[in-house]
Structure 1
Amino acid sequence: MNRLHPRVLLAWSFGLLLAGLLLGGLGRAVAAEPTVLRVGVLKFGTVSWELDVIRYHGLDRQYGVALEVVELANKDATAIALQGGAVDIIVTDWLWVSRQRDAGADYTFVAYSEASGALMVRPDGGIRSLGDLAGKRIGVAGSALDKSWLLLRAHTQRTAGRELMDSARVVFAAPPLLNEKFLQGELDAVLNFWQYAARLQAQGMVPLVQVQDLLAGLGVPGRLPLIGYVFSERLAAARPDAVRGFIAASRAAQALLRTSDAEWARLQPLTGATDAATLAALREGYRRGIPSGSAADHQAAIQAAYRVLAETGGAVLVGKSAGLAPGTVWQGW
């Protein structure tokens, strides 16, 4: 039997050891590669502010994710992109998630924002309470099935025994148009999304009521998340660390936006704010909407709000289901 020369044997052993070290290092490098997650967002939506913070500060990679932002034209386009597999995550409301689950889909929701709309009035307009809205011209963002509008209607019915659709003159339109018509004096009050209400506040208008402030009187506990990050349970099962990493990056970005005015100054071009007052109003409105509480807290608030909305909006809004579909709110974080 041939024996290897000791020097040859030593060289061969050293080569194996070196190869093992190199392959081991390569394995760790491959394992450390961040997971790509594609997030579909509206090009000019407020979600893009947070995603910009995540990417600018490398928070996605810090938590093992490579964030890919896909800009889309409108809310319907984001839903189509998610359903077609073009993106992994979108931002939408839990009503959509519940209806999709009732239809057999496996989408689930993690709270992104508790920022609510507000009913804005002029400080000298003579409207001091919801009772003063009788006969007034009210602009409402979106459609007759907007959640904030339905919650306001339900609150007015319970507290004043009055149906706003009958007692006031209501106009539904796009948020920017409503602000314009309100400032021109063609509307007496406007119920608009939080970022548009903030812009009105920067111009001296005042909130008659914040939608979040209506909830306690409607039996909704705590604060209500209105929109959230939505993804499939299949994604969460296949890439749990990536999904949790993305949520952790989101929370880290929100913590920075909660405390750093300098970060808001950096974001100003992205917000579209053209003056300090508007930027400050947007900043404070965003900060009020940063989610609080646990997934269980969000579940309780959403379930209670669902019952109110189902009663007020009916089957056109919620479909045939009398309750929130199980699994709508993700409990995995």
Structure 2
Amino acid sequence: MPKNSQIRYGGALHWTVSHKDGMGSMLRSRMRAAMAALTFLTVLWSGVATGDTPMPLRLGLVKFGTVAWEIDTIKRQGFDTAAGLDLRVVDLANPEAGKIALQAGAVDMIVSDWIWVSRQRGEDERIAFIPFSASVGAVMVPADSAASSLADLKGKRIGVAGGPLDKSWLLVRALAMKEHGFDPARDSRPVFAAAPLLNQQMQAGQLDAVLNYWPFAARLDALGFRRLLDVNGIAARLGVGAEMPAIGYVFREDWGRRNAEAVGAFFRATLRAKEVLRTTDAAWEPLRPLMRAEDEATFAALRAGYRAGIPSRWGAAEKEAADRLFAVVAELGGAELVGRGGRLADGTFWPGVSIPDGP
């Protein structure tokens, strides 16, 4: 290059060439080609850098909840990193704190049920749902109980976790009315209390039966209590169709639209974690501190309960069944449970995700 030629770089790429000989035209041509190539590489490098930047996702989580087992597995196995996610866990005191955090924008995603999501949408809070688990709970009785069906619980003391509007309780009531002609809310003696307290009362012989969340039912399994009824199977007996996940990861729709790639990547990571936990006993060993199992029998029962709740399908049939099931609980729970709409709100289920075996 002639010694009085000059190349200058500024905030934008800027080239200035001065020359005195006949090489100027050729030099300008070569420089234009070089500049075009450099511009292309700059755009390419910029795209790579953007693609390599992990997608942030703040998940609000109750530390010792069952969802923590799945998330711990995702992070331990590196499924979040492989999916291009920067998955950050925000500890929550309880599920209600998660709902407040989500609505305030302090977290991007929490865990809840689709009935709550539908109610929020009916109140113009655009929340959406992707599935986590089909495990709900069970009606447990002592091993030596004479009860063989819900019919035998008429007039009996039944412990109920979650209160009078608990979805499992409403389904149990609907099934008792359909198959046995009585309403346990009126014709039995329900006792509403926190899940741990109900297990204690059950062990003390103060209850004839208890309807409890699945981890607490699993703990009673380990102590030798007997399952009278799994809530998971009630939908089919009510004639509403396919079994569907009751609990899922939920997020604001506007955030989901802005971060659709992150939603899909996260869902795929959860499916990978589920498969590991479904097939590999060794993957459960690091989870022992989170599970807080009192003994090996409880540990095994909790593992079996999680595995039983892994959704095998999530597609059109399950969403249609959810619509029919919603009508059942809405009839019993009323507006206090489902809100003003009285029907499953459009958009409750986030489109574009499915379980691989689903339609």
Task: State percent identity of aligned pairs.
Answer: 47
Residue 164 of structure 2 aligns to a residue whose secondary structure is: coil
Q: Which residue of 2 aligns with 1:217?
A: 237
User: What CA distance in whole angstroms lies between the structure 2 residues aligned with 1:108 and 1:19?
Assistant: 41
- Please give the residue correspondences for 1:45-124 in structure 2 after superposition, counting only pairs within 5 Å: 45-124=65-144
State yes or no: 1:40 paired with 2:60. yes
Aligned 8 A contact 2:244 2:319 in 1: no
- SS where residue 344 of structure 2 aligns? coil
**1:68 aligned counterpart, secondary structure:** strand
The answer to which of 277-286 and 210-219 deviates more is 210-219
Matched AA of 2:310 = I
Structure 1, unpaired ranges of 5+: none
Unpaired runs of 5+ residues, structure 2, are 1-18, 354-359
CA drift of 1:15 comes to 8.7
Change (3 A) 1:22 1:318: closer
| In the alignment, structure 1 residue 250 sits paired with structure 2 residue 270 | yes
8 Å CA contact 1:111–1:298 kept in 2: the answer is: no
Is 1:281 the counterpart of 2:291? The answer is no
Aligned to 1:230: 250
Q: Do structure 1's residue 163 and structure 2's residue 188 form an aligned pair?
A: no
Q: Distance in 2 between matches of 1:177 and 1:299?
A: 34
Picking from 177, 186, 197, the partner of 2:217 is 197
SS at match of 1:221: coil
Amino acid at match of 1:259: T
Assess if the C-alpha contact under 8 Å between 1:36 and 1:66 holds in 2: yes
SS of 1:228 mapped into structure 2: strand
Deviations 1:263-291 (A, max 9, x none): 11221111111321111111111111111
CA distance in 1, matches of 2:288, 2:232: 26
2:349 and 2:259 map into 1 onto residues whose CA distance is 18
Aligned to 1:150: 170
Report the Cα distance in structure 2 between the residues aligned to 1:316 and 1:265, rounded to whole angstroms. Answer: 42
C-alpha distance in 1 between matches for 2:64 and 2:76: 18
**C-alpha distance in structure 2 between counterparts of 1:24 and 1:134, whole Å:** 71
Cα deviation code 1:45-103 (max 9, x no counterpart):
11111110111111012112110011111111101111111111111011111111111
Which amino acid in structure 1 is aligned with residue 331 of structure 2? E
Contact 1:295 1:329 in 2 (8 A): no
Q: Answer whether contact 1:138 1:191 (CA < 8 A) is retained.
A: yes
| Other-structure match for 1:31 | 51
Number of equivalences: 332
Higher Cα radius of gyration: 2
Aligned to 2:315: 295
Q: Secondary structure at the match of 1:90?
A: strand
Specify the SS of the correspondent of 1:314: helix
2:151 alignment partner in structure 1: 131
> TM-score, normalised on structure 2?
0.87
Q: For 2:320, give the aligned amino acid.
A: A
Query: Would you say the 8 A contact 2:154–2:182 is kept in 1?
Result: no
RMSD: 2.2
CA deviations over 1:162-202 (Å, ceiling 9, x no partner): 11122211100000110011001111111000010001001
Taking the aligned partners of 1:67 and 1:98, their CA distance within structure 2 comes to 26
Deviates more, 1:228-237 or 1:115-124: 228-237
Task: Report the CA distance between 1:116 and its aligned residue.
Answer: 1.9
Confirm or deny: 8 A CA contact 1:296 1:331 kept in the other structure: no
Match of 2:222, as an amino acid? A
1:135, distance to aligned residue in structure 2 (A): 2.2
What's the offset of the Cα at 1:214?
1.6
Report if aligned partners of 1:295, 1:331 keep a CA contact under 8 Å in 2. no
Moved over 2 A (4+): 1-5, 11-27
3-state SS in 2 of match to 1:135? coil
- CA-CA distance at 1:21 after TM superposition: 4.9
User: 2:240 touches 2:325 (CA, 8 Å); kept in 1?
Assistant: yes
What SS is found at the alignment partner of 1:45? Answer: coil
CA distance in 2, matches of 1:108, 1:279: 33
Check if 1:186 corresponds to 2:219: no
Q: Does 1:2 align with 2:20?
A: yes
Measure the CA separation in 1 of the matches of 2:335 and 2:74.
39
Amino acid at match of 1:272: R
**TM-score under structure 1 normalisation?**
0.93
For residue 290 of structure 1, give the secondary structure of its aligned residue in structure 2: coil
